[in-house]
Amino acid sequence: MKRLIAVLLTTIVFLLSACGKETAIAHFSTKEEALEHFIQNEGIRGAVDVLTTTKEEEVLAIQLNENTYFAGEVAKDKKGYVVKRISANVVMEAGGGWELTSTANQKYTIYFEKQKENQHFQPLSNGHYYVSLVEGHQITEEPIYKNAIKDLTAVQ
């Protein structure tokens, strides 16, 4: 029940802080250049971890500052590599979770917990949270875990 309340509160904050204005998206010849530009442009002062999914997508778990997190994605199209936000900012004190949809229209739910809940949670590089990414939109008290993380690597 405690987890459900935390997830619902996080979802409410997420919905209330919906993404602002649309801006032109910069494309780059390498993934590293795209990530560097995104980190500088967004003013990210915390950790950035790449969650490579079982569908070969690269979802980013991003710590904007001390308690603010959001999700992004690295994608490649005809113009090159691009990094995009796929969620709004979420302020977390003890964890949370929210639903995501990738640019390829894959649905995921990302969870952050202070302690490792089960084998599907992996530590973020900042050591503050464990993260889990599951397939489907599953904001429920007892999600059905179909782990979507194939690999986790730190960028910053």
Structure confidence at residue 8 as a pLDDT band (50, 70, 90): very low
36: helix, strand or coil: helix
Question: What pLDDT does residue 5 have?
Answer: 47
81: nearest Cα among 22, 21, 23, 38:
38
C-alpha distances (whole Å) from 139 to each of 9, 36, 81, 123 are: 11, 32, 30, 21
Q: What is the mean pLDDT of the chain?
A: 84
The 10s digit of each residue's pLDDT in 49-81 is: 999 999 999 999 999 999 999 999 999 999 999
Structure confidence at residue 20 as a pLDDT band (50, 70, 90): very low
Sign of CA dihedral 35, 39, 44, 45: positive
- Token readout for 1 is 């029940």
Question: What pLDDT does residue 117 have?
Answer: 80
Percent pLDDT > 90 in the chain is 63
The 10s digit of each residue's pLDDT in 116-155 is: 888 889 999 999 999 999 998 887 666 666 777 877 888 8
Structure confidence at residue 156 as a pLDDT band (50, 70, 90): confident
The 10s digit of each residue's pLDDT in 77-122 is: 999 999 999 999 999 998 999 999 999 999 999 999 998 888 889 9
Nearest-angstrom CA–CA distance, 111 and 98: 7
C-alpha distances (whole Å) from 100 to each of 26, 27, 60 are: 22, 22, 11
Question: What pLDDT does residue 110 have?
Answer: 95
